[in-house]
Amino acid sequence: MSLPDFQLLRPRTVAEATELLAKHAANAQIVAGGTDLIPSLRQRLFAPRFLIDLRAIVDLRGIRARDGGLDIGALTTLTTIERSPEIAQKYPVLHQAAKTVASPLLRNMGTIGGNICLDTRCLWYNQSLQWRQSCGFCIKKDGDLCHVAPGGSKCWAAFSGDTPPALLCLEAEIEIAGPQGTRRVPLSEFYTNVGDARMKLQNNELLTRVLLPVRTAGWSGVYRKLRIRGSIDYPLAGIAVVLKRSNRHVADARVAITAVNPAPLLVKGVARALAGREVNEEIALQVGELAARTAKPLTTSALTPEYRREMIRVFTKRAVLEAAAIDQSLPRAQPRGPSTVD
Amino acid sequence: MSEFSTIGRPIAFVDAAEKTTGHGKYTDDLSMPGMLIGKVLHSPHPHARIKSIDTSRARALPGVVAVVTGQDAPTTYGILPIGHDEHALALDKVRYVGDNVACVAAVDEATAEKALALIDVEYELLPAWFDPEQSMRAENDFVHENRPRNIEKEYHHTFGDPDKGFAEADYVAEARYIANEVTHAAMEPHSTLAAFELDPHTGKPGRLTVWSSTQVPYYLQHKLSLVLDIPMSRIRVIKPLVGGGFGGKSEVIPLEITAAIAARAAHAPVKITYTREEVFWAHRGRPRTIIDLKTGAKNDGRIVAAAARVIQDGGGYCSYGPVTILYSGALLGALYDIPNVRYDGYRVLTNKPACGAMRGHGTVNVRFAFESQLDEIAAALKLDPAEVRCRNLLKPPCVTVNGLRVLSYGLPECIDKVVAASDWTEKRARPVQASEKLDLKPVSEGHGFSRAEEVSHLCHSERASAREEPAGRNPAADGRRRGVGIACSHYVSGAANSIIRSDMPHSTVNLKVDRDGGVVAYTGAAEIGQGSDTMTAQIVAEVLGCDLARVKVVAADTDLTPIDLGSYSSRVTFMNGNASLRAAEDVKKKIASAAARRLDCAVADVVFRGDKVFRQGAENVARAPSPAVDRPPGAADDVARSSSSAVKAQGRVEGQILRGSVQQKRRNEDEGSRDWMSFEEAVVAAIDFSGALTGTGSYAPPAEARGGQFKGAGVGPSPAYSYSAQVAEVSVDEETGEVTVHKIWAAHDCGRALNPVAVEGQVIGSVWMGLGQALEEEMIWKDGLLMNPGLLEYRSPSAAESPEIECMIVESIDPEGPFGAKEAGEGSLAATIPAISNAIYDAVGVRLREVPFTPERVLAALRAKKGEKKLNMTRDVDPTAPATFPEHGGALCFKGKGPARHPLDVARADVARAPSPAEGDD
């Protein structure tokens, strides 16, 4: 379908943007890279009267060093993140995750802010108006039933961003600008795990920055993504692993999963399972079990839920082993600044 | 130096610059003053009777010029004379989600879309049929009332004595294979622009011109004439550049007729371009297919009998269905020498978009089953799979058991080439001791060609293949196991019997030569990216010995070009190529007789070469000055340089136009008899003699190639067949089931490679498309609703996972092909899927009988083999022993309750939903 009619607004500063949002909150939609929103507009998943295009806010672009950590503007493209030597060195898991998003062309357009705020996806939702009409619509949009979990009243559309699990592992915080100024929240408190109300962001608020702490800088990390096609695809399951090692033992660790729940989720109990131990196949598999138990894949995408859960297990095991191996073979430069917090 | 000047060289396509720079115009790029945009209303129901359509609200919307429905063109049509069951817009019934109901022509797209929402259609829902085997048991509510049990066509063929054959077999393999549905996914979506000229006498719409992305301009002209009730002579169809067809544009697609109906009603040009979702509904792709296959062999690997029962889920309309199901049978037993064949084919109607022709039409899914089973037989008999294929070769010239005439047969050489290039023996076998190598005996010499080295090569591998379970080998360090697989395929070079059942020539080409030596070829052949325009130009240039740059091709415009049946069934190079050749010979004869007088020699002694015409024996004189000809082929810049120098070589004969040819003639006479003359001079001489220089040539397949007399014998016969052999090397991750294809070696017998780079492109494209069907592509259905109607969720392979494809061209020089050429565009596809499945078996020992081999299917099979925890696939489908087609696992609920229902929700229409036979899952 053609794009719906809307008025394009182009603020030049964050203040202008929040002002516009405050004015049009209920009728506005934010566009950054547009790689997710534009197809959705054509499918009439949204029909906003105003489209607030952030791309003129130069302030929100780029990666800056801050207190030993990094500060990433929400408009920074995934290509910029993929190519940043600082990120590759300090936060390899984010580098890896950014590299797997969609395809090179889409990464040139897509932004980190957009990837964090990505709409949840479902085969019954990401379809044209005509298609959704044929199936009687769904609970996430225009309807009152869920085709994935019939009888339930919860939307199970899967969060399918690649970078958020990496950011969760890195204990990233995000900065949100609103009418009352800015606030910071840990990314782990941003998502709701409800498919049709995926994040705690008011309609008059704006994600402006991603803050990576010094604490996790230099941790080894691996991102693994299940997909059928070698490029372009959203993850059908994704896992991020980061490890901090002390001598031969794991000092601290995080695992987060994506595309198998309505939110990217940190896997509980990973640090406990790994801390103080030397990683081997058996321990890695235990972590895989933890991750698989956290995953609740449903028929929201291609490949069966059983298989996707199984891959969370296998990919986690492999990623844990690989992260441990990376750490051993490639000693990294210690991050500067106060790194003794743990 | 090659015996040819233009053919056999890698030549850039004549439209390459236009396409690669973005200057080329496809149908959707076209626009006319006053043009309206057409949008089509589609059915939300898989099967329903239309009780009423009220378009009044839509007509009232400002900007809407016309709204048309089935009543505006009630005549049925279809690509086959026996299958006229379609309406461009539904008249009384809709038969799939997406069926065409009405069309709005409005000033812009947004207005047209708004108007669609204002059309009120009242449906009476009918029970719908989704699974072909259930559909075949239907007793009422048929998809088409005149097709009881929903069977479009069934054929039962027996050749030889299959029962006796199976009784004589030492080993019989039997299994069910399932191939899921795939579609063409051509880059360009369908698009049509239709415009009427006003009749000078009545002021009403008169002559119709249609620009359309089609593979078959003449069929389109014919169907438009039928449905719109206008004589063909008053319809002009023009095919602009086409961005890929692969069979999806090889018949008349509803939008092509709808655009014309809407243009007639609106009194204005109307353009319709499908969205990608609409392209999926227009479909005509490869039907999902059930193949129950049984093959019997002797201990030495010789096949004695094959029997197949094939069910194709054809969707809601006939389309090419009967042809597809016949190809599946006709090509089943004709690749190898199989004495006894039984074939039972059923083309079944269901409430899904219509299937039709797709690259490798009819042969691909059955070939997957057969080549897999052959691999199984080789494993059971402890023979090398390559050698088993060599032991079952045809011995041409011959006629196969089902009446197909085979003259050229490059399959043995194809097998040898891929076996040698892929290190097949080394990769399959344990290291062989040097002493064993001395002990080789060549096997059967009966293939009619000399290949002692290769035979010993195969023999060697046969010895080495007596080994244990394949899964014990090749454990790699990365937890992946590697394997190689081989498979073969073949395809027709055009159908010997046209679908329109006419004796007219299948192709005709006209040539016109201008005074300055410019040659124009008028051909109805539809260039769809395969290179047919280039092929025509090359053949004409070769015959006339002139520079390629002299030849301009005017193609696929029914006002200008003679009838050609179109670009499908790989017919263009063979048929249009032969017609081009004959047209050029016709002109050449006229030039030669004029030139002979000037050169003072017999007509037979006039030679055309290097953009010159000379007396036989004077080649050296003639050749020297032309830089374009003698350069060895192959260099990348050769193409560019030869065409630029060709432009220079095209300079006019001095004064030929302004001062006329009298002076020219006088000058030549002054110089007396000569050894040679330039091409322009020869052309002028001929034009001065005959007044105009034109020629024509046409082609119809010979009677001997047209097959047997039994019912259904018309499909399968071709004047020539291409042959392919492929080896795939894969690795399988045993923990995830992911299959990586590392390399594919593909050898293709195309008769003669007129343009090797085009042949390689076609072979690589075919292999790549086969790779997509083997590993990723699959239309996923839920009760007739297509779950993945877009290129994000319908996954064609990306460059990232595309393996290296090493293409080897085999030239068997067909006696009837133009310069010996046969098809190259489709035949390779069918071998890729079984080559990959056989390689998976070689790597990990599981035999996958359901395609595509997605990671979950591979893992489920591996788990089953190892007796590990079962991986629950949807509906317990076992990919090693599939029973029925998988359906998507969600719930399709037409009814729900609550206040939040969308105004467009079909459940709000308060229509009672009739029980569907497929209801009850989830």
A331 has a pLDDT exceeding 50: no
Looking at residue A285, its pLDDT comes to 96
Largest CA distance in chain A: 60
If asked whether residues B815 and B686 sit together in one domain, one would say no
Closest CA relative to residue B375, chosen from B495, B470, B256: B470
CA distance A246 to A13: 44
Q: Per-residue confidence at B816, pLDDT binned at 50, 70, 90?
A: very high
pLDDT at B890 over 60: yes
H/E element holding A53? strand A50-53
Higher pLDDT: B328 or B480? It is: B328
Q: Quote the CA–CA distance of B298 and B44 in Å, as a whole number.
A: 54
In this prediction, residue B866 carries a pLDDT of 84
B761 in a domain, yes or no? yes
CATH classification at residue B69: 3.90.1170.50
Residue B646, pLDDT > 80, answer no
Q: What is the pLDDT of residues B793-814, one digit of tens each?
A: 999 999 999 999 999 999 999 9
Query: Which chain A residues are closer than 8 Å to B859 by Cβ?
Result: 307, 310
Decide if A229 touches B, using CB distance below 8 A: yes
Distance from CA of B193 to the nearest CA of A (A): 19
In chain A, CATH 3.30.390.50 sits at 61-117+158-329
pLDDT tens digits, one per residue of B737-773: 999 999 999 999 999 999 999 999 999 999 999 999 9
Contact B873 A311 (CB under 8 A): no
Provide mean pLDDT across the span A118-133: 96
Number of H helices, E strands in chain B: 25, 31
Do B629 and B725 lie in one domain? The reply is no
Which regions of chain A carry the CATH code 3.30.43.10?
7-54
Task: Indicate whether B421 pLDDT > 60.
Answer: yes
B324 falls within a domain: yes
Task: Give the range of the structural domain holding residue B270, as residue numbers without chain letter.
Answer: 27-126+187-244+249-282
Q: Is the pLDDT reported for residue B419 higher than 80?
A: yes
Interface-testing mutation among B888, B897, B910, B911, with chain A (most A C-beta atoms within 10 A): B888
DSSP three-state, residue B676: strand
Residue B635's pLDDT is 40
Q: Are residues B278 and B289 in the same domain?
A: no
Residue range B635-640: mean pLDDT, rounded: 41
Q: What is the pLDDT of residues A162-219, one digit of tens each?
A: 999 999 999 999 999 999 999 999 999 999 999 999 999 999 999 999 999 999 999 9
Check residue B623 and give its pLDDT: 52
Total CB pairs under 8 A between chain A and B: 136
Q: How close, in Å, is residue A190 to chain B by CA atoms? A: 27
**Cα–Cα distance between A301 and A104 in angstroms, integer?**
23
Q: Do B801 and A135 touch (CB under 8 A)?
A: no
- Residue B729 parent element (H or E): strand B721-733
DSSP B545-566: T--GGGEEEEESBTTTS--B--
Query: Is B57 an 8 Å CB contact of chain A?
Result: no
Q: DSSP 3-state assignment of B58?
A: helix
Q: Which of B34, B54, B52 is nearest to B123 (CA)?
A: B52
Interface of B with A in 698-757 (CB under 8 A): 735-737
pLDDT for B467: 40
Q: What is the C-alpha to C-alpha distance for residues B731 and B2, in angstroms, rounded to an integer?
A: 42
Percentage of chain A lying above the pLDDT 70 cut: 95
Residue with tokens 């049929």: B129
Which of B452-456, B482-486, B607-611, B842-846 has the weakest average pLDDT? Answer: B452-456
pLDDT for the residue numbered B562:
97
Angle at A138 between CA A134 and CA A139, to 5 degrees: 165
Residues B817 and B741 in one domain: yes
Q: Which two tokens stand for residue A340?
A: 């003794």
Each residue's pLDDT tens digit, B673-705: 688 999 999 999 999 988 899 999 999 999 999
Mean pLDDT of B98-123: 97
Q: What ipTM was predicted for this assembly?
A: 0.94
> Which residues of B are less than 8 Å from A228 in CB distance?
775-776, 795, 854-855
* Residue B624: partners with Cβ closer than 8 Å, 6 or more residues away: none
CB atoms within 10 A of CB B341: 24
Residues in CB range of B145: below 8 A, 6 or more apart: none
- Where is B196: in which H helix or E strand? strand B191-198
Cα–Cα dist B59/B676, whole Å: 71
Render pLDDT for B158-182 as a digit per residue (tens, 0 to 9). Answer: 999 999 999 999 999 999 999 999 9
According to DSSP, the β-strands at B551-555 and B519-523 are parallel
User: What's the CATH code of the domain at B390?
Assistant: 3.30.365.10
Q: Is residue B440's pLDDT more than 50?
A: no
Answer whether B788's CB lies under 8 Å from A241's CB. no
The count of domains in chain B is: 3
**Placement of tokens 């032309």 in the chain:** B626
Residue B889 lies in a domain: no
Nearest CA in chain B to A305: B873
pLDDT digits (tens, 9 = 90+) for A7-40: 999 999 999 999 999 999 889 999 999 999 999 9
Q: Choose among A136, A226, A307: nearest Cβ to B907.
A: A136
Rounded Cα distance between B339 and A139, Å, is: 60
Is residue B767 assigned to a domain? yes
> H or E element: which one contains A88?
helix A85-90
The pLDDT of residue B187 is 96
Q: Widest CA span of chain B, in angstroms? A: 100
Q: List B519's β-bridge partners, or say none.
A: B513, B551
Q: Would you call B872 and A306 a contact, using CB atoms and an 8 Å cutoff? A: yes
Is the CB of residue A153 less than 8 Å away from at least one CB of chain B?
no
DSSP string, B88-151: SS-SSEE-STT-EEEEEEESSHHHHHHHHTT-EEEEEE-----SHHHHTT--SS-SSTTSGGGE
| pLDDT tens-place string over residues B210-236 | 999 999 999 999 999 999 999 999 999
pLDDT given at position B904: 63
Q: Exposed/middle/buried for B270, CB within 10 Å: 0-12, 13-18, 19+?
A: buried
Q: Are residues B719 and B757 in the same domain?
A: yes
Q: How confident is the model at residue B261 (pLDDT cuts 50, 70, 90)?
A: very high
What does the alpha-carbon distance between residue B671 and residue B24 come to, in Å, rounded to a whole number? 47
Q: Quick one: B97 and B111 in the same domain?
A: yes
Helix ranges (DSSP H) in B422-477: 424-428, 434-437, 452-464
The amino acid at B409: Y
**Arithmetic mean of pLDDT, B316-333:** 97
pLDDT at B442: 38
Per the model's pLDDT, the better-predicted residue between A112 and B883 turns out to be: A112
What distance in Å separates the CA atoms of residue B739 and residue B728, rounded to the nearest whole number? 12
Residues of A in Cβ contact (< 8 Å) with B787? 123
Flag whether residue B922 sits within 8 Å of chain A, measured between CB atoms. Answer: yes
Looking at domain A61-117+158-329, which of 3.40.50.720, 3.40.50.2300, 3.30.390.50, 3.60.150.10 is its CATH number? 3.30.390.50
Query: Are B53 and B80 in the same domain?
Result: yes
Q: Using a CB-CB distance cutoff of 8 angstroms, which residues of chain B are in contact with residue A147? A: 890-893
Q: Which of A130, A310, A317, A322 to mutate to test the interface with B (most CBs of B within 10 A)?
A: A130
Sheet holding A206-212, edge to edge: A63-66, A69-73, A206-212, A173-178, A181-186
The partner residues of B489 in beta bridges, in order of sequence, read B724
pLDDT tens column, B362-406: 999 999 999 999 999 999 999 999 999 999 999 999 999 999 999
What distance in Å separates the CA atoms of residue B734 and residue B863, rounded to the nearest whole number? 9
B134 found inside a domain:
no
Closest in A230, A231, A314 to B736, CB measured = A314
So what's the pLDDT on residue B892?
Answer: 73
**Residue numbers of B between 254 and 293 with CB closer than 8 Å to A:** 275, 277
Exposed, middle or buried, B617 (CB in 10 Å: 0-12/13-18/19+)?
Answer: exposed
Burial B534-573 (b: 16+ CB within 10 A, else e): bbbbbbbbbbbbbbbbbbbbebbbbeebbbbbbbbbbbbb
The residue from B699, B716, B747 where one domain ends is B699
pLDDT > 60? residue B624: no
For chain B, state the CA radius of gyration. Answer: 29
Residue B690 domain flag: yes
Nearest to A131 among B277, B889, B898 (CB): B277
| Structure token digits, residue B658 | 């302004």
Instruction: Choose among B903, B889, B110, B786: nearest CA to A137.
Output: B903
Q: What is the mean pLDDT of residues A253-270?
A: 98
Report d(CA B879, CA B857) in Å as an integer. 6
> pLDDT band at B889, cuts 50/70/90?
confident
Please indicate, yes or no, whether residues B157 and B193 belong to a single structural domain of this protein.
no
Confidence of residue B583 (pLDDT cuts 50, 70, 90): very high
Whether B366 and B331 have beta carbons less than 8 Å apart is answered as yes
Q: Which residues of B touch A315 (CB under 8 A)?
A: 736
Minimal CA–CA distance to A159: which of A201, A98, A101, A117?
A: A117
The C-alpha atoms of residue B409 and residue B722 are separated, in whole angstroms, by 8
Q: Does A119 touch chain B (CB under 8 A)?
A: no
At B877 the pLDDT is 66
The answer to whether the Cβ–Cβ distance between A230 and B800 falls below 8 Å is yes
Using CA atoms, how far apart are residues B864 and B857, in angstroms rounded to an integer?
11
Residues B233 and B367 in one domain: no
Beta strand B721-733 pairing with A173-178: unpaired
**How high is the mean pLDDT of chain B?**
88
What's the pLDDT band for B502 if we cut at 50, 70, 90? confident
- Choices 3.40.190.10, 3.30.43.10, 3.40.50.1100, 3.40.630.30: CATH for A7-54: 3.30.43.10
